């Protein structure tokens, strides 16, 4: 019988890699909690209409990439392709806006898009994201950019740069859309098929095309920065000023458009020079009309998402795998000894040590070999003789030094043991 394998575009995150994921989550939580962001957890699937209205039916995400199905209640359901729409739905449904003021929220979890799998891009992928709802102040835009920058820098990432643009308000985009269509129409036959289709539906997305000839044509397209109204220009100027004040460097990129229709004003990406084609680590911007579009009040908002798969690739290039070895490996043989070993293991774990208890029941020689392979600092040995005497043998695996300790004294020696373990790990 053929074995069942993981579906294309999904992957197992094995124990030796999980440490990287835990590190990212802990750093993000620490940075965001200091700025008083609260974690929110929304469902993995939602009504399809949420994403059609929120993301935009003319986008590739809605038109080509969503995992959509009809459930047993004859409802159209979609696995979430991104996190913002679900957070905004919860914000409206749970009336978080009724409290007034600004809501700072963050999330972590899997997303789903039917894309061509490649390094750093899977069909089930993971994001950490933030949403700041209730402020149209440019300081909110800069605050979220600063938070993303701090997370990435704390993780030790290098060779990053910030691309910045403004996509203006709806009126700015209407003016720009016409200028862009006027420019691109004479080149219509030279555009790639997707871009020809976008010319009438979503022409700004043509600026994001990966087709070589289309990109050449787009190089000389009008800039949206030349079509911003006074209010949009003032907002964008303030964002740039504040970024400079914080010492966050950036590059203006008038070709930067995000793939979702809800963006207004500030749009940005943090890009790694170490990732090749799929180089964007963090992307986001302002979306002042989305809450109202989804049935809520007029509430401005700004946020971003960091793609975890790409981030983990960078961390693996920078850092050695996290040390998953136990501090103590507990070896035992004999009925009474095995019972006592279990009790000692639990007591040491309760004292904060990482302890692996050998459950094989095999000969001491085989257990000692597994202890050596585990990478533990020390081995605790209990046989019938030790069980009768109420002692346990402590053997430091790197030096071979060993001594007998009364089982009743083991926890009393925790502070000393901790120092010895650290010394064994860092000789």
Q: What is the DSSP string of 322-390?
A: P----SEEEEE-SHHHHHHHHHHHHHHHHTT--EEE--S---HHHHHHHHHHHT-SEEEEE-HHHHHHT
Residues 103 and 133: their CA atoms lie apart, in Å, by: 5
Whole-structure pTM over 0.85, yes or no? yes
Q: Helix, strand, or coil here: 68?
A: strand
The count of other CB atoms within 10 Å of the CB of residue 298 is: 8
The DSSP 8-state label assigned to residue 247 in this structure reads: T
pLDDT score, position 279: 83
- Report which secondary-structure segment, H or E, holds 142: helix 138-154
Q: Where are the beta strands (DSSP E) in 28-120?
A: 38-39, 45-47, 68-70, 76-79, 103-112
The superfamily CATH assigns to domain 328-425 is: Anticodon-binding domain (3.40.50.800)
Using DSSP bridges, classify how beta strands 355-357 and 402-406 pair: parallel, antiparallel or unpaired: unpaired
pLDDT score, position 37: 98
Residues 314 and 272: their CA atoms lie apart, in Å, by: 9
> Measuring CA to CA, which residue among 145, 151, 150, 177 is closest to residue 163?
145
pLDDT score, position 247: 96
Task: Answer whether 157's CB lies under 8 Å from 306's CB.
Answer: no
> Measuring CA to CA, which residue among 250, 285, 53 is closest to residue 168?
285
The residue ranges of every structural domain in the chain are 15-169+229-318, 328-425
Residues 155 and 136: their CA atoms lie apart, in Å, by: 30
**CA 18 to each of CA 135, 150, 309, 318: distance values in angstroms, whole numbers, following the listed order:** 36, 22, 12, 16
Partnered with residue 107 across adjacent β-strands are 129
Q: Helix, strand, or coil here: 253?
A: coil
Task: Answer whether 148's CB lies under 8 Å from 306's CB.
Answer: yes
Q: What is the DSSP string of 203-225?
A: GGGGGG---HHHHHHHTTSPPGG
Residues 268 and 282: their CA atoms lie apart, in Å, by: 8
pLDDT score, position 321: 79
Task: Answer whether 361's CB lies under 8 Å from 338's CB.
Answer: yes
pLDDT score, position 147: 98
**Residue environment code for 238-268, b if the CB has 16+ CB neighbours within 10 A, otherwise e:** ebbebbeeeebebeebbbbbbbbbbbbbbbb
Q: Which backbone phi and psi does 276 adopt, to 5 degrees?
A: 75, -140
The DSSP 8-state label assigned to residue 171 in this structure reads: H
Residue holding tokens 């124990």? Answer: 15
pLDDT, averaged in runs of 10, over the chain (427 residues): 91 92 96 97 96 78 89 96 96 93 96 88 95 98 98 92 94 89 89 86 82 88 92 97 97 80 88 77 94 94 96 88 88 94 94 94 94 93 93 91 88 77 70
Looking at domain 15-169+229-318, which CATH architecture does it have?
2-Layer Sandwich (3.30)
Task: Answer whether 377's CB lies under 8 Å from 383's CB.
Answer: no
Q: Which backbone phi and psi does 103 adopt, to 5 degrees?
A: -105, 125
List CB contacts of 325: < 8 A, sequence separation 6 or more.
354, 374, 375, 376, 377
Instruction: Count how many residues are written for the chain.
Output: 427
Task: Answer whether 132's CB lies under 8 Å from 140's CB.
Answer: yes
Q: Which backbone phi and psi does 290 adopt, to 5 degrees?
A: -70, -40
Task: Answer whether 287's CB lies under 8 Å from 201's CB.
Answer: no
Q: What is the pLDDT of residues 113-134, one digit of tens each?
A: 998 888 778 999 999 999 999 9
- The tokens for 244 are 């400079």
């Amino acid at each position: 019988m053929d074995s069942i394998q993981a579906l294309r575009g999904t992957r197992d995150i094995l124990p030796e890699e999980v440490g990287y994921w835990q590190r990212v989550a802990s750093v993000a939580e620490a940075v965001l909690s200091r700025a008083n962001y609260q974690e929110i957890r929304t469902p993995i699937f939602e009504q399809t209409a949420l994403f059609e209205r929120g993301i935009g039916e003319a986008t590739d995400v809605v038109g080509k990439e969503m995992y959509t199905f009809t459930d047993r209640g004859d409802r159209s359901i979609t696995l979430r392709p991104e996190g913002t729409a679900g957070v905004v739905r919860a914000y409206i449904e749970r009336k978080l806006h009724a409290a007034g003021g600004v809501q700072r929220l963050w999330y972590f979890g899997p997303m789903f898009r039917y894309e061509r799998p490649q390094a750093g891009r899977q069909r089930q992928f993971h994001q950490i994201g933030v949403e700041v709802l209730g402020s149209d102040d440019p300081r909110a835009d800069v605050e979220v950019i600063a938070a993303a920058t701090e997370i990435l820098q704390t993780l030790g990432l290098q060779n990053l740069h910030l691309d910045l643009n403004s996509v203006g308000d709806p009126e700015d985009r209407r003016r720009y859309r016409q200028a862009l269509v006027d420019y691109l129409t004479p080149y219509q036959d030279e555009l790639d098929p997707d871009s020809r289709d976008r010319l009438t539906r979503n022409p700004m997305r043509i600026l994001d095309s990966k087709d070589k000839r289309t990109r050449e044509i787009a190089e000389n397209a009008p800039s949206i920065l030349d079509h911003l109204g006074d209010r949009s220009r003032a907002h964008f100027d303030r964002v740039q000023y504040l970024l400079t004040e914080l010492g966050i460097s950036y590059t203006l990129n008038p070709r930067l458009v995000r793939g979702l229709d809800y963006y207004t004003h500030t749009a940005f990406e943090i890009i790694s020079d170490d990732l090749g084609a799929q180089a964007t680590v963090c992307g986001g911007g302002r979306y002042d009309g989305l809450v109202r579009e989804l049935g809520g009040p007029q509430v401005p908002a700004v946020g971003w998402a960091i793609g975890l798969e790409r981030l983990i690739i960078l961390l693996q290039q920078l850092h050695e795998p996290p040390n998953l070895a136990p501090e103590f490996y507990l070896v035992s043989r004999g009925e009474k000894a095995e019972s006592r070993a279990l009790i000692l293991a639990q007591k040491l774990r309760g004292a904060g040590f990482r302890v692996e208890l050998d459950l094989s029941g095999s000969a001491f020689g085989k257990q000692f070999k597994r202890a050596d392979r585990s990478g533990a600092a020390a081995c605790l040995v209990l046989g019938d003789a030790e069980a009768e005497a109420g002692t346990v043998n402590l053997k430091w695996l790197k030096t071979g030094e060993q001594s007998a300790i009364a089982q009743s004294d083991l926890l009393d020696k925790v502070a000393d043991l901790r120092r010895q373990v650290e010394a064994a790990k860092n000789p």
